Amino acid sequence: MRILLVEDDQMLGAALREALRDAAHAVDWVHSGEAALLAMRSTPYEAMLLDLGLPGRDGLGVLQSARRAGYQLPVIIVTARDGVDDRIRGLDLGADDYLIKPFATEELLARLRAVARRKAGHAQAVLSTGTVRLDPATREASFGDTTVRLSAREYALMYALLLRPGAVLSRDDLENLIYGWNEEVESNAVEYLIHSIRRKLGAAAIKNVRGVGWVIDRAPQETPRGRADPA
């Protein structure tokens, strides 16, 4: 996922950015509410981690402005404010979850996976089309009888495709989803990752739509009982 981290504490922000990158997420880190709103205008994010005690416009103001502007990305408030009133207000303004500092990184990552699943309409932790499966907890991908562990970048690319089964994503789409600011992207990086995944799982795991991009097909539709497949 490409995540917008909004945190003004230098030490905590740096630690969170590294932990998220280690978990195969692309992270853009800003230090103020105004910078967060500006970033959302120019970049499609799949989730936002939002501190409340920000300089200038505070986190609740950012959340309210984002929802009024129509941004639908999942938002997890990450704050030291543990009062019930703060939690209620944050959730009522449109936050999807509320995590109180200090917290375990593993819990934050699990909550990110959960809000991403809900956003994409997946009830199960494992993303699956019936033929292609991806376990976010282990980074293991399966296709047919083959199961392999993916690298961080390979996992990020598979995750982007499996969250949108049936959707064709271009090179630019995938670069925007798996790379953050200031990360150098080689001209053939996406093609290299897809080649590597196909080599591990099989060429049919990811399909190429020539001149457009790549897609993982949706789950095959079951044929109703008593009816034959059309010729």
CATH code for position 162: 1.10.10.10
User: What pLDDT shows up at residue 24?
Assistant: 84
User: How many domains in the chain?
Assistant: 2
Residue 169 is classified by DSSP as: B
Q: How far is CA 8 from CA 54, 58, 95, 199, in A?
A: 6, 11, 19, 42
Quick one: 230 exposed, middle or buried, by C-beta within 10 A (0-12, 13-18, 19+)? Answer: exposed
Amino acid, res. 52: L
Mean pLDDT, all residues of the chain: 87
- Whether 21 and 102 share a structural domain: yes
Largest CA distance in the chain: 65
Please count the other Cβ atoms lying within 10 Å of the Cβ belonging to residue 138. Answer: 12
Predicted pLDDT of residue 18: 92
Domain check: are 6 and 115 in the same one? yes
Among 201, 177, 205, 174, CA closest to 188: 174
Confidence of residue 231 (pLDDT cuts 50, 70, 90): very low
Query: Are 81 and 62 members of one domain?
Result: yes
Categorize the per-residue pLDDT at 229 as very low, low, confident or very high, splitting at 50, 70 and 90: very low
Q: What is the pTM of this model?
A: 0.74
Claim to verify: residue 80 and residue 134 sit in the same structural domain: no
Query: Is residue 222 scored above 50 in pLDDT?
Result: no
Q: Rounded to whole angstroms, what are the CA distances from 32 to 19, 87, 118?
A: 21, 20, 27
Please list the residues that pair with 59 across neighbouring strands. none
pLDDT at 137 over 50: yes
Show the domain range for 35: 2-120
Best CA proximity match to 166, nearest among 221, 218, 210: 218
| Lookup: tokens for 84 | 């019930």
Report the pLDDT value the prediction gives residue 121, as an integer from 0 to 100. Answer: 65
206 plus 155 within the same structural domain: yes
Rounded Cα–Cα distance for residues 209 and 215 (Å): 7
Place of tokens 């992270």: 27
pLDDT of res. 185: 73
What Å distances lie between residue 10 and 30, 32, 38, 188, 192, CA to CA? 10, 12, 20, 34, 34
231 domain-assigned: no
Residue 40 sits in a domain of what CATH number? 3.40.50.2300
